[in-house]
Amino acid sequence: MKYAGEEKKIPLTPISIARLVLLLIIPGLTFGLALFPILLSNFFILQYLNLDNMLHLLIFSIFLIFDFIFLIITVALSSALFINLLRLKYDEGEYGKSLCDKTAFKFILYFILYHPTYKLIGIFNITPLKSFYLSLIGCKIGKNVFLAGEEWLIDPCAIEIGENTMVGGKTIITAHLAEEKLIVKKVKIGKNCLIGGQSLILPGAIIEDNVVVGAKSLVTKNQKLQKGKTYAGIPVKEVTKKPKK
């Protein structure tokens, strides 16, 4: 089966051109909306400050730090708002890779709104805030999930993580592959799991409850890791415990 627009990444059709324009306009509106209350608050506070005064300059410097923290919150809320209003979350399936395909367009726009937002939240690496944001944009994430830092959940709306699971630093979890088609398949990670740092988990992987995945491991496409076992390697294999002498 052929998919519309596979011969060219950006075929010059009216619909693809319109969607390309939307890829520029919508992120501008999203992040502009997030920035507006910051600029507005600065406008009002500057009415009462004299920056030639050292004390006022110090107050403004402190205010800028709170501005930055507030910006993280407004960007998270604004991007989640647009992702949900525009129904950008996508399901499992096989899709074309050009802008002529509606799901491919949603996929690209979702990523444009999500990627910088998650990176911004990750500066302070506050796990509850990251988990809350992920849940807003479609990730099924349980209580007490620990995200160690610099992890990358590429397709949150197609990823499930059970409660009390720890995801090590710099781990990558992706629910899509771009082969001849755009293939999306859910990744499911159970409860009480430990995913070692710098691991790579590919689409369709199922990691059952109480599984340990060693650091720098590769969980391949559609691989299933059984409950309560330990795995490691590239690709992962079950680690057999040596009998005690």
Residue 5 confidence (pLDDT) = 43
Compute the Cα dihedral for 135, 139, 143, 144 and give only its sign. Answer: negative
Question: Sign of torsion, CA 8 104 150 194?
Answer: negative
Taking the CA of residue 9 as centre, how many other CA atoms within 13 Å lie in the half-sphere pointing to its CB? 2
pLDDT at 240: 74
CB 239 within 8 A of CB 221: no
Residue 222 token pair: 């559609």
Q: How far apart are CA 83 and CA 109, in angstroms?
A: 9
**Could you tell me the residue ranges of all domains in the chain?**
8-124, 129-239
Q: Which residue has the tokens 């620990």?
A: 146
Q: pTM (2 decimals)?
A: 0.88
Q: What is the pLDDT along the chain (245 residues), one digit of tens a residue?
A: 344 444 445 567 889 899 999 999 999 999 999 999 999 999 999 999 998 899 999 999 999 999 999 999 999 999 999 999 999 999 999 998 888 899 999 999 999 999 999 999 999 888 899 999 999 999 999 999 999 988 999 999 999 999 999 999 999 999 999 888 999 999 999 999 999 999 999 999 999 999 999 999 999 999 999 999 999 999 999 987 665 55
Per residue in 72-81, pLDDT (tens digit) is: 999 999 999 9
Q: Which amino acid is residue 200, in one-letter code?
A: L
CATH annotation of 129-239: 2.160.10.10
